[in-house]
Amino acid sequence: MSELSNGAQLTPAPQLFRGKLLFWIPWPLLVALDLWSKSAVFGFMAASYPLVPEPYRQHLVFDGALRFELVTWGNTGTIWGLFQNGTVILMILRCCALVGMLWFVRSTARAARFQQVVLSLVFAGAIGNLYDNFVRADRSVRDFLHFSGTWPWTWDFPAFNVADSCITVGAIGLFVLLWRDDRAPKQKPVS
């Protein structure tokens, strides 16, 4: 702290977002990767299957016990296609969540590097999917990665995209952080 000429003390300005490059650097790159990958796959599929309507385009990449195909599916809901009729409400909630994440990043310690990274992942995924909500005519999110398989039983995983992957990995990271903090020994209050 420094002292003014009248003797009053200046308090240092809070650092807010300074020193949090592990939040600020990854998310724009991940949003760019998400939007580019959606555009590239949907463009490839439109050129390869011009007579097939968008929701029915499928391109087999490999098959076997694990099957991977590119698809052009739009999801107007949330995870696993839930809340299909609540797109506008979900968009409002997602925007509020972005503001909440910025507040959370602001209050995150500079030394909490892993927390900055996982928040950046979730932030990137939310922006990537919100972009689709605001830009696409039907407000759907473009999903294009589809996995299914026959081992150890027959299964079919919902289609997803890079933004969904960012949100999932970030959410798992946040869970690990909360679990680790919950398991840490607590200091007993001094009486």
Catalytic residue numbers, as ranges = 143, 164
Residue 191 CB partners (closer than 8 Å, separation 6+): none
DSSP-assigned states of every residue in 90-137: HHHHHHHHHHHHHHHHHTS-TT-HHHHHHHHHHHHHHHHHHHHHHHST
Task: Determine contact, residues 61/69, Cβ cutoff 8 Å.
Answer: yes
- Strand stretches in the chain, DSSP E: 2-3, 9-10, 58-62, 66-75, 141-149, 155-156
Task: Write the Ramachandran bin of 27: left for phi over 0, alpha for psi from -120 to 50, otherwise beta.
Answer: alpha
